[in-house]
Structure 1
Amino acid sequence: MNYWLVKSEPDTYSWDFFVSKGRDIWDGVRNYQARNNLKAMSENDLVFFYHSNKGMEIVGLAKVVKESYQDPTTEDPRWVVVELAPVKKLAEPVSLTKIKTDPNLSDISLLKQSRLSVMPIKPEEFDRIMYLANEV
């Protein structure tokens, strides 16, 4: 199993809206590295849901329910989507400030490639974030 983080602006597409949909495509990615990360996702991989710009915190956990396929919002075959489903809202959101000050998360992609919208998370980073969220 692999772990990932996806970002969304809560005013545009919030965790609560995602939960209300029950399952949705993760579309609109137009960055090659983020696209490659979508292509690398496998069914049942776990995905942190991060509110960017406003809130700036990991608020929920989702899972991949369908692997990558052509993005239906464009005819350009270079772009793909995956389908995600919510698993749970985190007991306590994990803020960017908390991540920045945690020495166990100093190499996390969220800090190294802050503008990337879809990124891998190492297993030990996943475990640490779950700990910080009071989920273990």
Structure 2
Amino acid sequence: MPYWLMKSEPDEFSIDDLAERGQARWDGVRNYQARNFLRQMQVGERFFFYHSSCAEPGLAGIGEIVRTAYPDPTACDPQSVYHDPRCLRGENPWSAVEVAFVCRFQPLLSLRQLRTQAHQAALADLELLRKGSRLSVMPVSTAAWQALCTLADVPPG
């Protein structure tokens, strides 16, 4: 089963927000490669919830996909910060998925900590640790998933 990493700015939507809601729409992705990854996701697959663009970026917890990709309604909503003026009703190029809360990492597994572990063979292909990586949605190998769960002291299942 594939694993994923999905980034969000915590002042916009955090692991705490997802924990409070239990389930939420993951929307606002406006990069075609990241969108294509959303479209590959299947119900039951898990992802690392990554806090980005904040004082301490890092893995904040785990979520699960509960609904596969569907047209992102924020793209066609002129009131949304994610509105895409090119979006025409019925021709929406953007996708969203529904996600559910699984667990919060205590403490957060910081990007700084992850970089100190980058020498591990299991993390060699982790896109997040590559210089210039900016994708908001990316796949995670099974080996990397297991290694990161071990670092976060949570079961990989």
Please state which band the TM-score falls in when normalised by the shorter chain: over 0.9
1:69 corresponds in structure 2 to: 70
Confirm or deny that 1:58 pairs with 2:59. yes
Q: Runs ≥4 in structure 1, deviation > 6 angstroms?
A: none
Which of 100, 103, 111 is the equivalent residue of 2:129? 111
Provide structure 2 residue ranges, at least 5 long, that are not aligned to the other structure. Answer: 77-86
2:83 corresponds in structure 1 to: none
Give TM-score scaled by structure 2 length.
Answer: 0.82
1:130 corresponds in structure 2 to: 149
The aligned runs of 1:21-100 (5 Å cut-off) are: 21-54=21-54, 55-75=56-76, 76=87, 77-100=92-115
SS across alignment from 1:74: helix
Identity rate of aligned residues, in percent? 42
Provide structure 1 residue ranges, at least 5 long, that are not aligned to the other structure. Answer: none
8 Å CA contact retained: 1:7, 1:118: yes
8 Å CA contact retained: 1:100, 1:106: no
Q: CA deviation at 1:94?
A: 1.3
8 Å CA contact retained: 1:91, 1:135: no
What does the per-residue CA deviation read over 1:81-129, in whole Å, with 9 as the maximum and x for residues that have no partner?
Answer: 0000001112442111111121122321112252110010000000000
Query: Over alpha carbons, which structure has the higher Rg?
Result: 2
Look up the equivalent residue of 1:57 and give its one-letter code: G
SS across alignment from 2:73: coil
Q: Which moved more, 1:92-101 or 1:117-126?
A: 92-101
Equivalent-residue separation in structure 1 for 2:133 and 2:11 (angstroms)? 19
Equivalent-residue separation in structure 2 for 1:129 and 1:92 (angstroms)? 13
